[in-house]
Structures are given as structure tokens and as C-alpha cells.
Amino acid sequence: MTDPNACALPTPPAPADGVACALPGAPAAANDVRTWPAAGPQERFEILRRAKTIAIVGASDNPARASYFVATYLSGSSPYDVYYVNPRASEILGKPAYASLADLPVVPDIVDVFRKHDDLPGVAQEAVDAGASTLWLQLGSWHEGAAKIAADAGLSVVMDRCVKIEHARFHGGLHLAGFDTGVLSSKRQLLSR
């Protein structure tokens, strides 16, 4: 009879700093304490239902970047008018890229942020100054200081969530891998957009 634990992988020792899976450049565990109340599903649904315009701050023209993937999805599979903010690009997905939120021709309903952690408070202030309704920080982004700046000015705040995934989730098009399965269903969609 064989030992059932014979094929088990050894348990690695716990890291001294307590951060087992931290990404390179991610904030230290002490800075990642999450006390801010996360936006629940109903709140995220309402934000997406009300929105007409989304500005992607940190949008990239590089197809390997997450912001490009999200921009492609939002441009082709959502009802939103999508604007790209990147001071180093002149055009993304055939549309003009703007140097800042202040340069946009519209007031964005949602400011979707793909920027490094230390830049988030500045982007939050830009979103406030631009008159946005929501500050939305992408997966892996959580900054309570940025959230406070936005919330104190009356903006809704969503952190550590992907606009693409949430939009697809509420439209019944989210597969486990995060892609639209292409399967047609008679199931009624939550949004009529």
C-alpha cells in the first residue's frame, strides 16, 4: 500500500515578512490594510447602468497590456463612449488619446485607472477636478488615500475590480476564463444596454 502523502508537494516555509504572493513593486503588507468598505455588487451594477462615458487613465496602445484588452472590450462590447488618457500616445484603437482628464471633450462618468500605486492619489484628484462621478481602480489596485480624496468630493469609489469583468458579469457573458462564450441564451439580461 502506498502512502497517500507520497505525492504531496512540500509546504514552503512562510516568508519572514508575511507576504506570500506579493507582486514585485506592490505595496508592503502594512500599506495594504483594507479598511475601506468595498463597493458591493448592487452598487457596481448601478454605477455601470448609469454611466455613459468611461475614461481609461493609463490606456495603452500595446496589445499585451491589460488596459488595451479592457479598452478593446469596452469599445466593442459595451454601450459606453470610451476615452483614452495617456500623455505619451496620440491615438489608441483609432481614437485620439488625451494627455489628461482635463483635456477630455466630455466629463467622464467613470474614471477607470491603470496606473501604479503611488500615482493613484493624483489621479483621484484629477477625477474630482474633471467632475467625474466614479473613481474605478482596476484589479490589484487598492489605495485608501485615493479613495478618500474621491469620496470626500462625492464620487463613488470601486477598487480592485475590473470594469470589463463587471460589465460582462452583469450581462451574462462572463465565462470562467473572463471571456464572452458566444453562447446565446433566453436568460434575460440585467441591463438593457
Q: What is the mean pLDDT of residues 181-189?
A: 54
What pLDDT, in 10s, does the model give residues 21-63? 344 444 444 455 789 999 999 999 999 999 999 999 999 999 9
Q: What is the mean pLDDT of residues 150-159?
A: 98
CA distance 175 to 166: 12
The whole-number pLDDT of residue 94 equals 95
pLDDT exceeds 90 at position 11: no
- Higher-pLDDT residue of 79 and 175 is 79
The CATH code of domain 39-170 reads: 3.40.50.720
Give the global pTM. 0.75
- Supply the DSSP symbol for 99: S
Domain definitions of the chain by residue range: 39-170
Q: Output the CA angle 106-173-139, nearest 5 degrees.
A: 60
Give the pLDDT band (50/70/90) at residue 12. very low
Q: How many alpha carbons fall within 13 Å on the CB side of residue 145?
A: 9
Give the pLDDT band (50/70/90) at residue 7. very low
Q: What is the mean pLDDT of residues 84-90?
A: 97
